[in-house]
Amino acid sequence: MQDKISQLPDDILLSIVSILDFKTVVRTSILAKRWKYLWTWLCDLDFHPKNLFPANHDFFKRSRSIGDDGKKKFQQGYMNWINQVIHSHRAPCITKFSLFFPEVWSKDMSEIEKWIRFAVSKQVEELDLTLLDYRDHPPRVSLGSDILNHSITNLKSLSMSNVNISGEALESVLFHCHLLERLYVDDSDTLQTLTIVSYKLKHLTLIECKKLNELQIDAVNLISFYFQEYHRGVPVHIVFKMVPNLVEVDFGMLGCTYPFRILERFSCVSKQLTKLSFCPFIDYATRLIPSRLAVIQVNVFFPYVKQLTLTVLSLSSFFFQLFIPACPMLHELKLQVTCDPGGPLKDEADQLREIELEDERNDEMPMNQESYSEGEKEKSEHEVNLKVLEIVGFHGCNEDVKCALEIIARAANSMERLICELRHLEEIIEDPGPGLDEDVFMAKKRSRAHKLVKLVPPRVHVGVRDKSGLSWIS
């Protein structure tokens, strides 16, 4: 029988094999003479270890327990694979070069630099460098103008995690890369000052750059800005010059003692934002004293924000009430519950027992409209147009239910959907132990979510989201 597939043009064959994982693509070289070197012309080089060791893609979860010998053996196979591909590669250009290195040892840094120089020489369009470290003071790969030189003019996306790069080197990249649309920098120890000047840049992310002191942004096409400040006494000085298209801002500032003062630094762009994410974490003294909570105010006006995400230590309607006057057009509110950084992880077994007791004591909670007192309603003259409330990390205890009901009561005339996202045990506790049963854990939470159906107006649809997806229960 005639092999019609092998008679297809090279570009079509490359399109076919490009949807396969790298290891499978290399195996196609044994199919026929035509296929022997086809894989060497691939333009998308994704060197994630899962593509080489599909059965061991959870290696990074197990890496702390296999010892140094196991790590070295794994890394040697990983490095040999990358070197083999680079040595055999024939395509003149690369669309994407993605490197996911498990742990950097001193002797590996020269190899990593060699791989990056290879990608740069191939006029790479998307460069993704994710270097993981599990030790207190690992060696860092440093990128300078000698590596990211003037030949990277085709670069459209640059992503770096645990890579040291200076402000001068990044500014050189921005100067030479007129096509760069996405810049992502996570944990650089050498970034101190940075001036962003770009006509093309659309998405900017800066995460926990410990020594960053000053940031200036002049990017007329910037759409989104994610900024997570490293916790310290002096905040980063940020200056927005020209950002007329900036509509999405995410402030991931964990552990900030006075978080709402941070918002004031962005007052010059507040009137154009439509999507805002914020972590209103406050210190323990403030959280424990209601009188201190009462004086907190959001002094920045966000007239066009329709989507607001708040990452909170525990569920409370306080922050929603706080942002009502600041976001009059708010349509979607997402409350993300995180683990309390001030103490050990919440004992989920105790929480399950707490929910069981609440079920015994109080099978039905007060109806939602009455759960929000008339006195509290009179305090606000602001119209609430909230349509969707999503709670990420819904546990189902009475405080969670009370928070949901208070917010829905405040937006009773506009609310349409309530989504409760349930976290599985493995997402909360690294090693749950024998005392907790996953099925029981999730069943209790679903049960409490189902009870919400009886407590909200019929027009509000209630949904539950977990790993299997979103299912509507009303």
In 167-268, DSSP assigns E strands to: 182-186, 193-198, 203-207, 214-219, 224-228, 237-242, 248-251
Token readout for 83 is 């070197």
Total domains in the chain come to 1
The pairing of strands 163-165 and 193-198 is unpaired
Closest by Cα among 263, 223, 218, 214 to 240: 218
| Residue 289: predicted pLDDT | 46
- Is residue 123 within 8 Å of 151, Cβ to Cβ? yes
Domain-embedded: residue 141: no
Token readout for 12 is 């079509």
Q: What angle do CA 188, 245, 272 make, to 5 degrees?
A: 105
| 400: containing domain | 255-474
Q: How far apart are the first and last CA of the chain?
A: 57
The pairing of strands 96-101 and 417-421 is unpaired
Q: Is 431 exposed, middle or buried (0-12, 13-18, 19+ CB in 10 A)?
A: exposed
Q: Is 93 exposed, middle or buried (0-12, 13-18, 19+ CB in 10 A)?
A: exposed
Residue in this structure with the two tokens 């055999």, named with its chain if needed: 88
Per-residue pLDDT of the chain (474 residues; tens, 9 = 90+): 445 565 556 666 666 666 556 666 666 655 555 565 567 777 888 887 776 665 544 555 555 555 666 667 777 888 888 898 898 888 888 999 998 877 666 677 888 899 999 999 999 999 999 887 655 556 678 888 888 877 788 999 999 998 999 999 999 999 999 999 999 999 898 999 999 999 999 999 999 888 899 999 999 999 999 998 776 666 788 899 999 999 999 987 554 545 666 777 778 888 899 999 988 765 444 444 445 555 567 778 899 999 999 888 778 788 888 888 889 999 999 998 875 433 333 444 454 444 444 554 444 444 444 444 444 444 445 678 999 999 998 887 778 888 899 899 989 889 999 999 988 766 665 555 555 666 777 887 888 888 888 888 889 999 999 888 999 998
Position 265, amino acid? R
Q: CB within 8 A of 236, min separation 6: which ones?
A: 212, 213, 214, 215, 229
Residue in this structure with the two tokens 């064959």, named with its chain if needed: 13
| Residue 141: predicted pLDDT | 84
Q: Report the C-alpha gap between 419 and 309 in whole angstroms.
A: 14
| Residue 34: predicted pLDDT | 55
Closest by Cα among 260, 303, 298 to 279: 260
**113-117, Cβ contacts within 8 angstroms, sequence gap of 24 or more:** 113/141, 113/147, 115/82, 115/86, 116/143, 116/147, 117/147
Domain-embedded: residue 445: yes
Sequence-ordered alpha helix ranges (H) in 92-183:
109-121, 167-176
Sign of CA dihedral 179, 184, 188, 192: positive
**Adjacency order of strands within the sheet including 237-242:** 193-198, 214-219, 237-242
| Residue 11: predicted pLDDT | 64
- Is residue 389 within 8 Å of 415, Cβ to Cβ? yes
| Residue 331: predicted pLDDT | 96
Domain-embedded: residue 182: no
Buried b (16+ CB within 10 A) or exposed e, 230-258: beeeeebebebeebeebbbbbbbbeebee
Closest by Cα among 313, 330, 329, 469 to 403: 313
Domain-embedded: residue 66: no
Q: Report the C-alpha gap between 350 and 267 in whole angstroms.
A: 43
- Is residue 262 within 8 Å of 239, Cβ to Cβ? no
Q: Report the C-alpha gap between 103 and 71 in whole angstroms.
A: 8
- Is residue 473 within 8 Å of 445, Cβ to Cβ? no
Domain-embedded: residue 265: yes
Domain-embedded: residue 321: yes
Residue in this structure with the two tokens 């993605």, named with its chain if needed: 98
- Is residue 315 within 8 Å of 400, Cβ to Cβ? yes
Q: Report the C-alpha gap between 43 and 468 in whole angstroms.
A: 34
Q: Report the C-alpha gap between 438 and 440 in whole angstroms.
A: 6
- Is residue 240 within 8 Å of 269, Cβ to Cβ? yes
Domain-embedded: residue 116: no
Q: What angle do CA 52, 98, 94 make, to 5 degrees?
A: 110
Domain-embedded: residue 163: no
